[in-house]
């Protein structure tokens, strides 16, 4: 792909890079400044088969997952469509400067719950998939979400990306403990939507499951996950819990991780263990925070429900 001077990867309307960290594995984490003094973090992953952008949709996050630095720091506001597009451009050009390549994949797995900033998300997806210059197939874009049923149905109709569902527990009670903000959208409402989600060809829904030592990692809980996902065309992405300062959660031992994965496979589910990228710069799943430029008066991250669900 040749460098572009216009369109999606235009050098115009970029966000200032306030801080740049490069991991020993080549992962890059950018702290990007916004006009109001807030900031977001973006991760760029260079792997042999794909170069991937991990993008944020909100400053902070209202869901409050107990294993996640972003959730623990609270919610401030949604990104605007212009801010999201500038983030994509900035990360894409950073990748190109480092590798000579434009991204082949994008995942909305950074800060925030993407479906709570839905119109902005759709604008970003449209730009990524329909740009005249090098663009991405919608099959190469994942939107990670706790699962908001009506927004999921609209995402399915748009055919602009594939969903990745943050499950993390095999039953409602434990999920409420781990992901208190997701209790507004119970599994009893989410699972029927996943069972009828429009998936072309051999595509499947990615189900994300962070393994936490002694909390959700037993063989019995693997069997519950299998039962819960009955009728869903799914593949399970197992994520060993990454260390987060101040969190009581820890990753299970490697043999327990593999035991959980093996039990899912024995039951007939496709299950993978995700390799963490950039752990030495806190760039892995659950480790983003982006608080460095937050004004002291906004540290609590308060916001109205209307602001959270634009």
pLDDT digits (tens, 9 = 90+) for 154-166: 999 999 999 999 9
Q: Which helix (H) or strand (E) is 209 found in, with range?
A: strand 205-211
Instruction: State yes or no: pLDDT of 285 exceeds 90.
Output: no
Cα distances from 249 to residues 49, 110, 241, 291, in angstroms, run 32, 20, 7, 21
pLDDT at 134: 79
Other Cβ atoms less than 10 A from the Cβ of 66: the count is 18
pLDDT at 260: 98
Kindly report the CATH number that applies to the domain delimited by 7-288. Answer: 3.20.20.70
pTM above 0.85, yes or no: yes
Q: Where are the domains of the chain?
A: 7-288
Query: Percentage of the chain surpassing pLDDT 70?
Result: 86
Is 65 labeled as catalytic in the residue annotation? no
Active site residue 41: yes
The catalytic residue among 208, 241, 285, 291 is 285
Indicate if the pLDDT at residue 302 is higher than 60. Answer: no
User: What is the CA angle 237-69-239, rounded to 5?
Assistant: 15
Provide φ and ψ at 137, rounded to 5°.
Answer: -70, 140
Find the catalytic residue in 41, 83, 113, 208: 41
Q: Which residues contact 300 (CB under 8 A, 6 or more apart)?
A: 74
Residues 6 or more apart whose CB falls under 8 angstroms from that of 60 comprise: 70, 73, 74, 75, 76, 77, 111, 112, 290, 301
Question: Cα dihedral sign for 91, 94, 99, 100?
Answer: positive
Query: What number is the average pLDDT over the span 179-204?
Result: 96
> Which pLDDT score is estimated for 280?
54
Distance CA 38, CA 2 (A): 33
Alpha helices in the chain (DSSP H): 69-73, 81-99, 118-130, 149-158, 172-178, 187-195, 219-228, 254-267, 305-308
How far is it, in rounded angstroms, from Cα 216 to Cα 236? 14
Crossing angle between the packed helical segments 118-130 and 81-99, to the nearest 10 degrees: 40
Q: Pick the closest to residue 59 from 37, 44, 91 (CA basis).
A: 37
Q: Which of 10-24, 26-40, 258-272 has the highest mean pLDDT?
A: 258-272
Residue pLDDT, tens place only, 68-110: 887 777 899 999 999 999 999 999 999 999 999 999 999 999 9
């Amino acid at each position: 792909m040749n460098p572009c001077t216009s369109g999606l990867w235009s050098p115009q309307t970029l966000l200032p890079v306030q801080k740049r960290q490069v991991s020993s594995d080549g992962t890059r984490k950018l702290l990007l400044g916004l006009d109001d003094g807030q900031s977001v973090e973006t991760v760029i992953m260079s792997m042999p088969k794909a170069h991937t952008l991990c993008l944020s949709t909100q400053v902070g996050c209202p869901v409050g997952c107990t294993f996640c630095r972003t959730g623990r720091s609270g919610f401030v506001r949604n990104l605007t469509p212009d801010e999201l597009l500038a983030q994509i451009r900035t990360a894409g050009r950073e990748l190109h400067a480092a590798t000579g390549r434009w991204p082949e994949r994008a995942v909305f797995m950074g800060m925030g719950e993407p479906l709570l900033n839905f119109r902005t998300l759709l604008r970003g997806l449209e730009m990524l998939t329909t740009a005249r210059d090098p663009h991405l197939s919608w099959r190469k874009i994942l939107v990670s979400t706790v699962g908001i049923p009506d927004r999921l149905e609209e995402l399915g109709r748009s055919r602009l990306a594939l969903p990745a569902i943050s499950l993390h527990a095999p039953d409602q009670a434990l999920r409420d403990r781990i992901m208190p903000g997701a209790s507004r959208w119970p599994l009893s409402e989410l699972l029927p939507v996943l069972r009828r989600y429009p998936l072309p060809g051999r595509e499947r829904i990615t189900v994300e499951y962070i393994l936490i030592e002694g909390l959700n990692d037993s063989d019995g809980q693997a069997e519950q996950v299998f039962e819960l996902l009955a009728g869903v065309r799914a593949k399970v992405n197992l994520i060993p819990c990454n260390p987060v300062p101040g969190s009581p959660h820890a990753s299970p031992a490697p043999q327990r991780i593999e035991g959980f994965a093996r039990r899912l496979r024995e039951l007939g589910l496709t299950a993978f263990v995700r390799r963490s990228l950039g752990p030495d710069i806190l760039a892995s799943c659950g480790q983003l925070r982006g608080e460095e430029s937050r004004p002291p008066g906004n540290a609590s991250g308060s916001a109205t429900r209307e602001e959270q669900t634009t």
